Each structure stands twice: as structure tokens, then as C-alpha cells.
């Protein structure tokens, strides 16, 4: 065999060997690549943290526009002994609702109780110092009062009205004057008062809501003594008067009012749609609030508005029992259960607290605590435990509301000021170093029975290091201060931030 023949044979053998090596190398490379990707995926999986919130079914949440409401009509501070003796009941309440007459707040023209009555000023400050938010209803009709509800100086201006015999709350028969609501002098003077009232109390740091109507018996918007042809005109007047004075505090009015002739249509079209009102209802646990009302509220008004609820009866007598016997109510306990049921079916955010709950139906207290208002908690949150500075990262979350009500965040006075947010905090500080707002979450839509999912993307701007990741619902009008208690029993709190875990920021 010559050299040429030998070389050619060698080259054939070498090419055959290369082909075999290449054929063997491809699957080996593929195996190595898949193995590497699996290793990377497994590593990434280790970096993904999942947090599942556990619903808190026991705690009383003290949140805006929800909770137990304490009712009062005082104009002077309480003793320390009084506060101590009522501590158990008061500790459950979130809102202090003052309901009394215009005459008490402006006994002389332009001399307002919050400016010129030292006792009333001390009273208001005492309520705030004890951690309550205020709420108000100003009443102008004298029915059941022992003194005239509208100031005498208003009557002396020539306002039209009528004198009517009425029994006071103590049972005494008296004759008292009340104004006609369509009288131009009355309307001008009351509007001037409401402007001054708003100047003092249009402050959500102090006031939760204004019961912004006050006409009729007890301010409940019935027995108006107006011709039906004037209903829309006068409804627009009272709503616009409060609307112009209160730009930051929620406004509420009784639903299924006489202005709507019981249908609720004018309440929606005028009070809610035109002036941004929410709805309350006096009379739960009575024939005055019907199954048809409940259905209409659920169908046409919720979740645009929760219900601010109030029992019809603060006590019980034979006359009350007779009035409700046709509905199967045999005693006060039955009535309280009925009232709570009506409220929960109508998505109540608030309920008045009375000693009757403790004495006759204590189990209904726990029922409201568990189901009343809005009770948000994270069903699931996923985030990466390691992020790079300057790189985009995503937090995935699912949320639920365990309460029957809603956070009325879309009301124009709030204008979506509450936002879902995440914060990165140093390990040994409660001051967030970076806050990220979720842009797609509309909290006013968070109603029970649904799950709300979001992918929140943000770019980490912090120096390398280890931080605590927290979630909260912040008030954007107060520099993103967390403001809402959540119903999550397993998450550690830092104020109203809820800790999820730690995040390591690496150099990008």
C-alpha cells in the first residue's frame, strides 16, 4: 500500500470517527443543557416565596366608614369614671355619632357651639382624644324633643312653620314649633350654618361621615310636610347644601326616603349620582324596612354604596311587640336577630351599639364582628426573595373580602384615596425606604364572594442589602400612610403594614 493510499484510508477512518463523536455529542450536550435549565429553574423556584393569608374571624376592625357606632347628644365632657365604667362597650366602637338639634349648635346667630361653648369644645376634644372618629346629624324638626329644634332667632325672622303637640322622650306633652323646609329664609339660614359647620368639620382626620339631611321627624327624612311636586327641588337643595360644604368627608342620607316616595329612585338619582352620597337606614328590625327594600338595595345600590345601619328599637315594649308580631317577632331578642339579619343582607358597614345587644342578644355582637363591614385579607401573595437593583420585579397577589360591606373608596369625597401598596423596610426600622402602589386595584369593587388578582410590577431602587417586604392599604392623601386594618390573623403587623418576609437586593 503506497503513501497516497494509506493517507486516503486514514482520512476516511478519521471522518468516520468524527461523525460518530458528533452524533454522540449532540444528545450529551442536550442533556447537559436541560440539566442546567432544570437546575436554574429549581434555583429560581427556591427564590420564589408564597404567603397565604389566614382569615381573621374574631378581631374587631377599626376602619374608616365601618364598625360599631356609639350614639350621643351631649354637649359637655364626661367624667373619667364614666369612661372607665363604659370601657368594655366603648372599646368595640369605632365612630362617635352626635345627633341633636341645630338650636344646640347655634343658639345665637353666628355663635357656634364649637367656637363659643367651652364645654362643647371640651366634649369634642375628649371624644377625639379617646381615639374615636366623629359623625353628625343635625335635626331641625322638634318632634319628640323637649325644646325647639330650630333656633328661636330663625323663627323670629318670620320663617313659616307650625306648632304641634308632641310627646318628649320622657313622656311629657309639649307644644313646639318646626319650620317649613321650603321657606326661603329657613333655607338661607340653614345653608349658612352648614357652610360654617363644614368649615369646622370637613376633616377626615376627625370626622368619619356626616348624616347630611336632617329633615323630618328625628332627621329621618319622613313627615316632611311638603307637597310631592316640591320633592325633587328640596332634595336637590339639601343635598347641594351639604355637598358644597363637605368636600373630604363622606355624606350619607336615609335610603327609601320620603323624597323618593319609598322607591329609592330619587335617592339614587339625586343623592348618590348627582351629589355623591352614600346610604344609611334607620329602622332595621322593623316592618318599616321590608324584604323588597333589601332586594332593591342589593340589586340597585350595592356595591356603589354599603349601608350605614341603625336599629329601629333601642328598647322594647308591648306596643313594639304588637307592631312586629305579624313578622314572627315575639320578643326583643327575636327583633335584634331580625335587625342584624336585615342589616347583613343589606351589606351594612356600620351598626349602632346599644346595651340591648349585650343584654338580650350578645351572640349578635360576634355575628357583626365577623361579617359586618369590609374585611380584606390576602388569599395568596408570591414574590421573589432576591431582586436586582434597577431591574423590574413582580409581586403576584390574590385578595378576598370576608365582610358583607365594601370600602366606599369611589365616593367623590375620597376619590380612590386608599390604595393597595407594598413597602420595603430596613430590618431594624419601621420607616419604609420604598413604597410601590398597585395601579389596577379598585378597592371599592372588593365585595365578598369574589377573588381579586393583580400583578404588581416595580423597579427596586434601594442599595444592596436585606429588607423586609410588607403589604398595606395606604391613604395617598397622607403621604401613603397605611390606614386600613386587614382581617389576616397570621401576618405580623408593623403598625398597619403587614409583613410578608425578607427580600435581598443585589447589585444590578
Alpha-carbon gap, residue 36 to 413, rounded angstroms: 56
In contact, 408 and 442? CB cutoff 8 Å: no
More confident residue, 3 or 350: 350
Q: Is the pLDDT score of 15 beyond 60?
A: no
Average pLDDT over residues 386-401: 96
pLDDT class for 23, splitting at 50, 70, 90?
very low
In contact, 420 and 484? CB cutoff 8 Å: no
Average pLDDT over residues 361-388: 97
pLDDT, tens digit (0-9, with 9 covering 90-100), for 160-211: 999 999 888 778 899 999 999 999 999 999 999 999 999 999 999 999 999 9
pLDDT class for 362, splitting at 50, 70, 90?
very high
In contact, 506 and 476? CB cutoff 8 Å: no
Residue 491: closest CA among 388, 356, 381: 381
In b/e form, how buried is each residue of 148-172, taking b as 16+ CB within 10 angstroms? bbbbeebbeeebebeeeebeeeeee
CA-based torsion, 120, 123, 129, 134: positive or negative: negative
pLDDT class for 317, splitting at 50, 70, 90?
confident
pLDDT class for 359, splitting at 50, 70, 90?
very high
Q: Is the pLDDT score of 16 beyond 70?
A: no
pLDDT class for 314, splitting at 50, 70, 90?
confident
Report the relative pairing of strands 278-284 and 307-311 from DSSP bridges: parallel
Q: Which helix (H) or strand (E) holds 434?
A: strand 434-437
Within 10 A of 3 (CB to CB), how many other CB atoms are there?
Answer: 7
Q: Is the pLDDT score of 25 beyond 60?
A: no
Alpha-carbon gap, residue 92 to 327, rounded angstroms: 30
C-alpha dist (Å) from residue 479 to 128, 417, 474: 22, 11, 8
In contact, 177 and 142? CB cutoff 8 Å: yes
Q: Which residues neighbour 49 within 8 Å (Cβ) at sequence distance 6 or greater?
A: 382, 383, 384, 385, 500, 501
Strand blocks (E) in 243-385 = 250-254, 278-284, 307-311, 348-352, 376-384
Say whether 77 sits in a helix, a strand or coil. coil
Alpha-carbon gap, residue 125 to 206, rounded angstroms: 10
> Quick one: pLDDT at residue 171?
82
Average pLDDT over residues 117-129: 97
Residue 400: closest CA among 451, 473, 335: 451
pLDDT, tens digit (0-9, with 9 covering 90-100), for 209-230: 999 999 999 999 999 999 999 9
Q: Is the pLDDT score of 503 beyond 60?
A: yes
> Quick one: pLDDT at residue 321?
86
Amino acid at each position: 500500500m503506497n503513501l497516497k493510499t494509506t493517507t486516503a484510508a486514514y482520512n476516511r477512518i478519521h471522518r468516520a470517527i468524527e461523525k460518530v463523536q458528533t452524533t454522540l455529542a449532540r444528545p450529551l450536550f442536550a442533556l447537559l443543557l436541560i440539566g442546567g435549565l432544570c437546575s436554574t429553574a429549581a434555583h429560581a423556584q427556591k427564590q420564589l416565596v408564597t404567603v397565604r393569608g389566614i382569615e381573621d374571624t374574631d378581631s374587631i376592625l377599626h376602619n374608616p366608614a365601618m364598625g360599631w357606632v356609639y350614639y350621643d347628644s351631649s354637649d359637655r365632657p364626661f367624667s373619667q369614671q364614666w369612661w372607665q365604667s363604659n370601657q368594655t362597650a366603648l372599646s368595640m366602637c369605632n365612630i362617635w355619632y352626635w345627633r341633636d338639634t341645630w338650636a344646640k349648635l347655634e343658639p345665637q346667630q353666628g355663635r357656634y357651639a364649637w367656637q363659643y361653648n367651652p364645654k362643647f369644645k371640651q366634649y369634642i376634644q375628649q371624644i377625639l382624644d379617646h381615639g374615636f372618629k366623629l359623625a353628625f346629624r343635625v335635626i331641625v324638626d322638634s318632634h319628640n324633643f323637649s325644646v325647639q329644634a330650630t333656633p328661636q332667632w330663625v323663627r323670629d325672622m318670620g320663617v313659616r312653620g307650625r306648632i304641634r303637640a308632641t310627646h318628649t322622650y320622657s313622656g311629657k306633652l309639649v307644644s313646639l314649633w318646626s319650620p317649613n323646609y321650603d321657606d326661603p329664609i329657613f333655607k338661607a339660614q340653614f345653608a349658612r350654618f352648614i357652610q360654617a359647620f363644614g368649615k369646622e368639620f370637613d376633616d377626615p382626620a376627625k370626622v368619619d361621615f356626616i348624616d347630611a339631611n336632617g329633615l323630618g321627624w328625628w332627621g329621618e327624612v319622613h313627615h316632611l310636610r311638603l307637597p310631592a311636586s316640591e320633592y325633587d327641588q328640596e332634595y336637590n337643595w339639601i343635598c347641594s347644601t351639604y355637598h358644597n360644604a363637605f368636600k373630604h368627608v363622606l355624606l350619607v342620607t336615609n335610603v327609601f326616603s320620603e323624597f323618593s316616595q319609598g322607591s329609592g329612585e330619587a335617592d339614587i338619582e339625586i343623592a348618590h349620582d348627582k351629589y355623591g352620597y352614600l346610604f344609611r337606614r334607620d329602622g332595621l328590625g322593623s316592618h318599616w324596612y321590608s324584604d323588597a327594600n333589601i332586594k332593591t338595595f342589593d340589586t340597585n345600590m350595592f356595591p356603589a354604596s354599603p349601608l350605614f345601619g341603625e336599629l329601629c328599637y333601642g328598647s322594647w315594649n308591648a306596643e313594639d311587640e304588637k307592631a312586629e308580631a305579624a313578622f314572627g317577632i315575639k320578643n326583643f331578642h327575636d327583633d335584634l336577630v331580625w335587625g342584624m339579619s336585615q342589616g347583613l343582607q343589606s351589606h351594612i358597614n356600620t351598626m349602632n351599639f346599644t346595651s340591648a345587644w349585650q343584654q338580650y342578644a350578645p351572640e349578635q355582637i360576634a355575628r357583626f364582628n365577623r361579617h359586618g363591614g369590609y374585611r380584606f385579607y390576602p388569599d395568596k401573595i408570591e414574590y421573589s426573595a432576591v431582586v436586582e437593583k434597577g431591574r423590574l420585579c413582580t409581586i403576584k397577589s390574590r385578595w378576598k373580602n370576608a365582610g358583607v360591606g365594601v370600602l366606599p373608596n369611589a365616593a367623590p369625597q375620597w376619590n380612590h384615596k386608599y390604595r393597595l401598596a407594598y413597602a420595603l423596610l430596613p430590618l431594624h426600622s419601621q420607616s419604609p425606604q420604598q413604597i410601590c402602589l398597585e395601579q389596577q386595584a379598585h378597592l371599592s369593587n372588593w365585595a365578598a364572594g369574589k377573588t381579586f388578582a393583580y400583578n404588581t410590577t416595580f423597579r427596586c431602587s434601594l442599595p444592596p442589602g436585606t429588607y423586609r417586604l410588607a403589604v398595606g392599604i395606604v391613604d395617598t392623601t397622607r403621604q401613603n400612610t397605611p390606614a386600613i386594618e386587614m382581617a389576616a390573623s397570621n401576618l405580623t403587623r408593623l403598625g398597619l403594614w403587614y409583613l410578608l418576609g425578607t427580600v435581598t437586593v443585589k447589585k444590578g
